[in-house]
């Protein structure tokens, strides 16, 4: 499979390593210095993997659509345009695989989060909060993973209506976001009352899990049409 990497930073290099180990070919490595090469790379690719910045993600997705190239998107922070992108994908019969987090472990964590939130709906004296910690280079806050975790909780806890960054309230889920050194990613969900505290934590040790998930998503997306996510890949 021929893969164009849109974004060739630390994550792009890790994806390249795993893709080559799995027998794929890298047909393009696109960064700021050679962005003009994107079109020629897409013309000779079976799939693209996009890990860039929130302000450029949608433009990159649309460029992939214009070349009928399935695109796997790991960039977060563009949720305000998500509806528009999904509608365009379906209207033009394109292929988009999007996930806030490509780690297999995190997506198992999502499912445990759902089950715990369902149980905690009956125990209203427990206050829920989410904390996420990432490296200092991550621009969006809270992380897409933290937002995904919060949205699952909102669907299960009738007493909560929305999440807010660094705000508390009887109907709010407080998300705190920290940027520390080169931390790959840590997410904790806690339920606490005056008696005890229940916490779930996922801690990434490196970028390998995210990169492997992105390559698996690319393999899954080839020769498909539509919008997919990690639940489709992992049959969760």
Please list the active-site residues.
134, 138
**Residue 75 DSSP symbol:** -
Using alpha carbons only, give the angle 131, 133, 134 rounded to the nearest 5 degrees.
150
As a 3-state breakdown, the chain gives helix, strand, coil percent values, each rounded to 5, of 40, 25, 35
Taking the C-alpha atoms of residue 180 and residue 158, their distance in angstroms, rounded to an integer, is: 33
Identify each DSSP E strand in 82-185 by its residue range.
95-98, 127-134, 162-165, 172-179
Paired residues of 197 in beta bridges: 192
CA distance 61 to 105: 26
């Amino acid at each position: 499979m021929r893969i164009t990497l849109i974004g060739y930073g630390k994550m792009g290099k890790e994806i390249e390593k795993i893709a080559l180990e799995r027998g794929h070919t890298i047909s393009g490595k696109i960064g700021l210095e050679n962005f003009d090469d994107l079109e020629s790379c897409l013309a000779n690719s079976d799939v693209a993997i996009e890990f860039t910045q929130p302000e450029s993600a949608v433009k990159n997705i649309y460029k992939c659509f214009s070349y009928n190239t399935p695109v796997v998107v790991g960039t977060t922070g563009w949720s305000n345009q998500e509806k528009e992108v999904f509608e365009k994908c379906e209207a033009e019969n394109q292929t988009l695989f999007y996930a806030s987090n490509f780690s297999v472990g995190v997506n198992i964590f999502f499912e445990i989060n759902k089950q715990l939130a369902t149980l905690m709906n009956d125990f209203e004296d427990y206050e829920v909060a989410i904390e996420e910690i990432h490296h200092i280079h991550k621009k969006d806050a809270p992380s897409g993973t933290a937002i995904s975790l919060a949205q699952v909780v909102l669907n299960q806890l009738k007493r909560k209506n929305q999440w807010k960054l660094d705000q508390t309230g009887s109907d709010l889920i407080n998300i705190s976001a920290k940027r520390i050194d080169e931390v790959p990613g840590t997410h904790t969900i806690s339920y606490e009352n005056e008696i005890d505290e229940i916490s779930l934590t996922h801690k990434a040790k490196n970028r390998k899990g995210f990169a492997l998930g992105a390559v698996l998503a690319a393999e899954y997306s080839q020769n498909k049409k539509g919008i997919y996510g990690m639940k489709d890949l992992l049959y969760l």
